């Protein structure tokens, strides 16, 4: 919880730094910092069912999800052609 609140407060600081010192930093970080702070102040809810073990089907679905996640990355970043 300390890490999440520190991250949220850092985002707020980065947003104000960009606003006050005229750095090219997006001031929207202030909004995301406040949203992150509100979400992190509630604490982690924990698992819904900590007793039941994962079945083989659950593990297969998790592996498929990880494979899809990896395949979504592009090897070359997108760029704007002048």
What is the per-residue pLDDT across 2-57, written as a single tens digit (0 to 9) for each? 888 888 888 888 888 877 777 677 778 888 889 888 888 887 777 788 788 889 99
More confident residue, 61 or 73: 61
Number of domains into which the chain is organized? 1
Q: Is residue 25 part of a domain?
A: yes
How big, in percent rounded to 5, are the helix, strand and coil portions of the chain?
55, 0, 45
Q: Is residue 35 part of a domain?
A: yes
- Domain span holding position 37: 10-44
46: left (phi over 0), alpha (psi -120 to 50) or beta: left
Question: What is the model's pLDDT at position 62?
Answer: 96
Q: Is residue 31 part of a domain?
A: yes
Residue 33 CB neighbour total at 10 angstroms? 20
Average pLDDT rounded to a whole number, residues 57-76: 91
Q: Is residue 68 part of a domain?
A: no
Report the distance separating Cα 9 and Cα 1, nearest Å. Answer: 12
């Amino acid at each position: 919880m300390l890490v999440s609140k520190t991250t949220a407060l850092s985002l707020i600081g980065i947003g104000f730094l960009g606003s006050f010192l005229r750095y090219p930093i997006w001031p929207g970080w202030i909004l995301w910092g406040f949203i992150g702070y509100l979400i992190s102040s509630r604490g982690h809810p924990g698992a819904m069912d900590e007793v039941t073990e994962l079945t083989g089907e659950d593990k297969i679905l998790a592996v498929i999800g990880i494979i899809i996640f990896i395949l979504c990355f592009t090897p070359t970043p997108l760029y704007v052609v002048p």
